[in-house]
Structure 1
Amino acid sequence: MEGELDDHLGYKKHKTSDSSNARNGYTQKKVKSTFGEMEIQVPRDREGSFNPMLVPKRENMIERLEEVMISMYAKGMSVSDIQEQISEIYKFDVSTSAISRITSRVAEDIVAWQNRPLESTYLIVWMDGWYCL
Structure 2
Amino acid sequence: RNGSYFRQVKTQFGPIKVQVPRNRKGEFHQHTLPAYGQHTDTIESTVIQLYSHGVTTREISDLIEKMYGSYYSAGTVSNISKQFASQVENYHQRQLSDKFF
TM-score (norm 1): 0.60
* Residue equivalent to 1:13: none
Letter in 2 for 1:30: Q
* Residue equivalent to 1:45: 23
1:103 aligns with 2:81: yes
1:1-133 matches, cutoff 5 A: 23-111=1-89
Percent of aligned positions that are identical? 27
Q: What runs of 5+ residues in structure 2 fail to find an aligned partner?
A: none
CA shift in 2, pair 1:59/1:114, >3 Å: closer
Cα drift, residue 49 of structure 1: 4.4
Cα drift, residue 64 of structure 1: 1.4
CA shift in 2, pair 1:57/1:111, >3 Å: closer
TM-score (norm 2): 0.75
Which structure has greater helix proportion?
2
Query: Could you say which structure has the larger radius of gyration?
Result: 1
| Count, aligned residues | 96
CA–CA separation in structure 1 for the residues paired with 2:19 and 2:64:
14
Letter in 2 for 1:66: E
Q: What runs of 5+ residues in structure 1 fail to find an aligned partner?
A: 1-22, 116-123, 127-133
**Alignment RMSD, CA only?**
2.6
Letter in 1 for 2:49: S
Structure with more contact order per residue of length (Cα contacts < 8 Å, sep ≥ 6) = 2
Cα drift, residue 112 of structure 1: 6.3
CA–CA separation in structure 2 for the residues paired with 1:112 and 1:31:
30
